[in-house]
Chains A and B, each alone.
Chain A
Amino acid sequence: MDSDEGIDYSDIEAKYQVHLDDSLENVVVVDGIPIIDKKKLDKLLSRICKEFTRKGIPVKPEEIYMPWDDATGNNQGFLFIEFKNADEASLAIAAMHNYQFDSKHTFKINRFTDIERYSEMDETYVEPEVEEYVPREHLKAWLADPQGRDQYVTYRGEEVEIHWHGKPSQSESAMKPASIESDWKDFLYVAWSPLGTYIATLHRQGVRLWGGTSWKPQQRFAHPLVKLIDFSPGEQYLVTWSNEPIVVPDGAPQGPQYLSPDDEGNNLAVWDIKSGHLLRTFSTANENDPQSRKQIQWPALKWSPDDKFVARVTPGQMISVHELPSMYLHGKKSLKIEGVVDFEWCPLGDKDREEADQASKTPKKPRENMLAYWTPEVANQPARVTLLGFPSRAILRQKNLFNVTECRLFWQNQGDFLCVKVDRHTKTKKSIFCNLEIFRVREKDYPVEVVELKDTVTDFSWEPKGERFAIVASSDPNLGNGGPGITIKTDVSFYQLDHGKNDFKLLRTLSNRTSNAIRWSPRGRHVVLATVGSSSKSELEFWDLDFTTDESQQKANQDWGSGIQLLGTADHYALTDVEWDPSGRYLATSASSWTHTLENGYAIWDFRGQEITKLIQDRFKQFIWRPRPRTLLSKEQQRHIRKNLKEYSRQFEEDDAAEESNVSAELIALRKRLVDEWNAWRQRTKNEFLGDGKGRGKHGADSDAPEKEVVEVWVEELIDQVEEEEVV
C-alpha cells in the first residue's frame, strides 16, 4: 500500500481553507478628537468608548489606536478603531459621523479604505468622452400612420400582442411576442398611458414602460409587488400602489430612482416618468379608520387635469393637495373638511386649454382649477356638496342636501356640468330613491338643477362634449342581491339640457331592459347599452341620438327624443368589458378569463353593431385600445375638414377600391394554390393505390355509384271525414 504522502491534497485544502478577513474594511478613522497629552489619554479613551456604546456600538479601549506626535508629546487629532467586521464599521459611521463630541469637537468618521483610495486618486482631469448622439424612436410615431389606424393591445395566456386595427388587409400585428426580448413576461396586466405614449407592464419587481415603434423599454419604476398604477392626465407622473408595505432590504441600490429606507412601510409611490425618479411615497393605511383598510379607493391620488396638483382624501378629515413636481403640501396645510367622503377635480375642456394656451397673449385669466367634494349628514348638519376653487381655496358654490345615503360626483368631460347623483332614503329608511343635482359650472353663480327620480340609479354617464346624459335606473326587487341566474331589469333614460328653460328634460326612456352599462362614443352622439357580467344575457344595443338628418333638424328640435334611433343590436356571450376606440367608430367587447372561463375572447363592432372581427381564444385576458392624444387641429381646421369631407373621402374610397381588388386577387391566388395542392395530393394517393392494385376491394369507388333509384311512395291521406246523418 502506498502511503498518503503520494496523494495531492492541495485541491481539498484550497477548497476548505478558511479565509481570514484581512481587508481593512472594518477599520474606521475618527477625525476631530481633542488634542491631549498622555496624561489625559485614559480619560479620553473611556469617554469615547462610552459615547460609542451609548449609540449602540460597543467599543473597547483596546480596539482603539491613537497615533502620537513624538515631537510635541500630544496626539495628532485622530484615531483608528478596528471593528469586528465591515458591517459594524458602517453602523458606526452611520451613527457617529458628525457627532458633536463637545462644543469644539465634532467627529468625522471615514473608512480607512476610503481614505487610502482617495489619497491615491489620480488628480489629472480626464475629459469624459462625448457619447455619440443616437436618435431615439419617436414615441408618438404610431400617430403618423398613413392610414390613420388605431392600435390595440391584447393579453392572452402569457402573450401580449399589439395590433393595428384597420381593414382586414391592414390589420397586421404591430408587435408580436416573438420579436421581443424575454422581458415581456411574468406580469399581472398591461395598461396604456392616458395619451397612448407608453404601455406599462406590472411585474413583481415593479412597473416597466415601453414605447416607440420597436417597443423598446423606456422607463422602469422599482416598486416591488406593485398591483395598481395610475398615470397623471398629462403623462408626466405615475402613481403605483402595492398591498404590501415597502420593505427596503440591506444593500438595496440607492439613488433618486429607488425606494429609500425612509419609504419603508408606505405602499403608495409617485414617480416622475421622464426621469424615473421617485418623488414621494405615502401610506394608504389609515390608523383612525380601520374600515378603510378593507378596500382602497382607486385612484387613491387624484390629479388635477393640468398635472399641477395631486390630491388625496383622508376620509372624514381633510383633502391634502400636493404641488408638483416638489410634492410639497400646497400652502403647507391640508384642506380641513369635517366629514369629507369623496372629491373630484373638474376636468379641463377644450375651451380651457385654448384659453390656457393664449393666456400669455391676452390679459384674461384662464379658469382656475376646481374641485367638488361632499360631506354627509352629521348631527344637525345637512349633507353638503361644495365647489371649491384651487389654489385660491375659495368656496364657489355650496348646496345642502337632506336624507342622503350616498353621493357620487360625475363631471362632464369638458368641465361644463357637474352631476351629483344623490341616493336618498325616505324617512323610514326603507326605500331608496335618487336625485340628480346638476351644476351648470360655466354659468354665473353656478345654478343647480334637480332631476328627481323614483327608482335607484345604478349607472350615470355624461355624453362626452355634449349636453346629454344617460342613466340606468332599476326598480327590480332583486337589485343589490343579485346571484347566479338573476338578471336585473332596468330602464335606460336619456336627458338633454333644454336651453329655453335651462333645465334637463327627459328625451326618452327605454324600459324593460337588462342593460347595466352605458358607453358613450368618445365623440358623443352614439351610445352603446350593454349587459355586462351576466351569464344569461349579453345584449349590446347601438343607439344614435341624432339620427335625423340635418334638413329635419329644425323639426327634431321641436320634437324631443325623435332623433333617437336604434341602429342595431348584437350579442357577445358573457362579455365583461366594453370599450370604444378613440375615433368613436368601433367598439370592442371582450370576455376576460379573469372573470370567468366561458368563451373568452374579443369582438370588434362598428358603431352600427355590425360585427367586424370576433376571436374566441382560451385564456384571453385583456383588450385595450391605445388612447390618442388631443387633436392638434384647431376648431377652424376641423370645421373645414367636416365641410369638405366629400373631397377627402374620395381619395380614401379610391384607396379602398384598389385595396379590395388587391386583397381579393391575393385570396384567389391562395385558394387556387390550396386547390392545386389538394388535387395533386389526391391524384398522387389515387395513383398509388390504383397502382399496386392489390389493395382494391371488390367495391371500389367506381362501382359504388349506383343509378339513382326512384322510389314511389303512395301516401294515403284521409283529408276529412264527415258523417252525415240523414234525418228522416
Chain B
Amino acid sequence: MRPILLQGHERSLTQIKFNAEGDLLFSCSKDHVINVWYSHNGERLGTYEGNNGTVWTVDVDHETRFLVSGSADNTLRLWSVATGKCLYTWEFPTAVKRVAFNEDATQVVCITEQRMGFQCAIRVFDINRREGEESNQSEEPRHFFNPIGSKATVCAFTLLPNVIITGHESGKVALFNVKTGEEINNNERAHSDVVTDLQLSKDRTYCVTSSKDKAARIHDIKTLLVVKTFTTETPLNSAALAPNRPYVLLGGGQEAMNVTTTSLRQGKFETRFWHKVYEEEVGRVKGHFGPINTIAIHPAGTSYASGGEDGFVRVHHFDDSYFNAQPYGAVEIED
C-alpha cells in the first residue's frame, strides 16, 4: 500500500473530499487554493483559484458538476467542476467554516464563524441547477438561523428533508430543523470537547464524529445516541467510515502549536484503523509529519486519502489483503 503523495499545497490541508464516483479528489488548504486530483494516480487535474483566504471547507455534488467552497475571506463560492470557473459568490460578515450539499445537491448548508460581534449562523441556499443558469443564483438564503448556545463547527444534511445534524464547540451533537431553526434533538454530552469532524454513513442513517476529547463516536442519526466509542490517546481531527469493511479511520495528533515541543513519534501523526463494532484498534498507517487534519474514503471503499498539517495529501489504495483479511474470522457485519 505505497501511498501517492500529493504535493500541491503550500500550507496545511483543511478538508479533502472524493466525488461520488471516487475518481476525483478535491482538496483545500490554508494556501487559498482548491486542487482537484485524479485519485488513482495522483495527477493534478486542475485548481480553483479566486479565494483570498484560507479555504476551510469544500463539498462536491453527486453529479460532480458543482463544487462549493467556504473560505476565511468570508465568502461561499460555487464553482463549475469541469471548467474551474467561479459561478457565484456569496459574501458574509465572517468566515465560512463548513459547507455541505444535500443528497440531490439542490441545497447547500453553510456555517459561518462567530466573530467580531456576529453570531455563528447557519444558512441554507437553493442551488439553481438549470443548464445555462448556473451563475444565476439567489443571493438571499432560503433559511437562516443562529443556533443558540455553543457555536456549530460541523454540519451535514440528514435523510429527512430540512433537517441537518450539527456538531458543536462544546461537544454537543444536535439535529436542527433549518426552516424554523428549532433544535429537534440533541446529545449535550456526545463529546467533552470541540467536535472536529462529522461524516455520514453511505445511507445517511448513522454518522461518526471526532473530537479534541481524543475520542470518536458513532451516533444514531435519529436518536443521536452513542452507538460506539473509539478512545485514542490523542486529540482527533477527523473520522471516516470505510464502506463495505467494518472499520472507521481516525486521524489527529498533538496540536499543531505543541508539535515543535514533541518528537515525531510522540505526535502520533498516524491514521488509525478501528474495528467499528468491536471498538478495537486494528492498525495504523504512518507517514505524515504533522497532525492529520482530514480523512476521506473512496465511496467504493477501495482507497482513502489523508490531509495533514504538513501540507501533504497521501492517497492510499488498499491492497488485496485489506479486503481478504478476516482478522476476526468470517462474520457478517452490516455496513
Contact = CB atoms under 8 A, between A and B. Distances in A.
B334 A679 contact: yes
A649 interface: no
B159 interface: yes
Nearest to A484: B261
Contacts of A657: none
A699 to B, nearest CB: 5
Interface of A: 535-536, 573-574, 598-599, 616, 668, 671-672, 674-675, 678-679, 681-683, 685-686, 688-689, 694-701, 704-706, 708-709, 711, 713
B103 A708 contact: no
Contacts of A686: 203, 205
9 contacts: A573-B265, A574-B266, A674-B278, A675-B333, A686-B203, A688-B205, A698-B103, A698-B104, A704-B20
B278 A671 contact: yes
A699 B277 contact: no
Nearest to B299: A704
A711 B203 CA distance: 27
A695 B233 CA distance: 38
Contacts of A683: 334
Interface string B1-39: 000000000000000000011010000000000000000
Contacts of B21: 706, 709
B266 A598 contact: yes
Interface residues of B, number: 37
B205 A685 contact: yes
B75 to A, nearest CB: 28
A164 B310 CA distance: 44
Nearest to B268: A599
Contacts of A700: 203
B230 to A, nearest CB: 14
Given A689-B203, A695-B158, A713-B41, 4 more contacts: A672-B331, A679-B334, A685-B206, A695-B160
A616 B214 CA distance: 12
Nearest to A682: B334
Contacts of B277: 671, 674-675, 678
B161 interface: yes
Interface in B34-57: 40-41
A583 B291 CA distance: 42
Contacts of A701: 202-203
B189 interface: no
Contact of A697 (B103, B265, B299, B332): B103
B233 A616 contact: yes
Top 8 nearest A-B pairs (CB, nearest first) are A697-B103, A701-B203, A695-B159, A682-B334, A685-B205, A616-B233, A678-B277, A679-B334
A671 B331 contact: yes
A60 B300 CA distance: 105
B62 interface: yes
Nearest to A681: B227
A573 B263 CA distance: 10
Given A685-B206, A697-B104, A704-B202, A679 B161 contact: no
B210 to A, nearest CB: 18
B220 A685 contact: yes
A694 B334 contact: no
B129 interface: no
Nearest to A536: B263
B262 A598 contact: yes
Nearest to B203: A701
Interface of B: 20-21, 23, 40-41, 62, 102-104, 158-161, 202-203, 205-206, 220-222, 227, 233, 262-263, 265-266, 277-278, 299-300, 328-329, 331-335
A711 B266 contact: no
A48 to B, nearest CB: 76
A671 B328 contact: yes
Contacts of A697: 102-104, 159
A684 to B, nearest CB: 9
A599 B206 CA distance: 32
B159 A696 contact: yes
A431 B278 CA distance: 61
A62 B329 CA distance: 101
B226 to A, nearest CB: 12
Contacts of B220: 681, 685
A440 to B, nearest CB: 46
A616 B62 CA distance: 42
B104 A699 contact: yes
Contacts of B329: 668
A701 B333 CA distance: 16
B44 to A, nearest CB: 15
A599 to B, nearest CB: 6
Given A685-B222, A698-B104, A704-B299, A599 B159 contact: no
A696 B158 CA distance: 10
Nearest to A715: B41
Nearest to B329: A668
Nearest to A574: B266
A705 B203 CA distance: 12
Given A599-B233, A678-B334, A689 B62 contact: no
A520 B227 CA distance: 48
Contacts of A535: 263
Nearest to B232: A616
Nearest to B20: A704
B103 A699 contact: yes
Contacts of A694: 161
B38 to A, nearest CB: 9
Contacts of A598: 262, 266
B280 to A, nearest CB: 9
B205 A689 contact: yes
Nearest to A615: B233
A598 B262 CA distance: 8
A535 B266 CA distance: 10
Nearest to B221: A685
Q: Give the residue among B205, B220, B265, B328 with the most A Cβ atoms within 10 A.
A: B205
A654 B84 CA distance: 70
Contacts of B20: 699, 704
A599 B266 contact: yes
A705 B21 CA distance: 9
B299 to A, nearest CB: 7
B103 A678 contact: no
B262 to A, nearest CB: 7
A708 B298 CA distance: 13
Nearest to B21: A706
B98 to A, nearest CB: 20
B117 to A, nearest CB: 37
Contacts of A671: 277-278, 328, 331
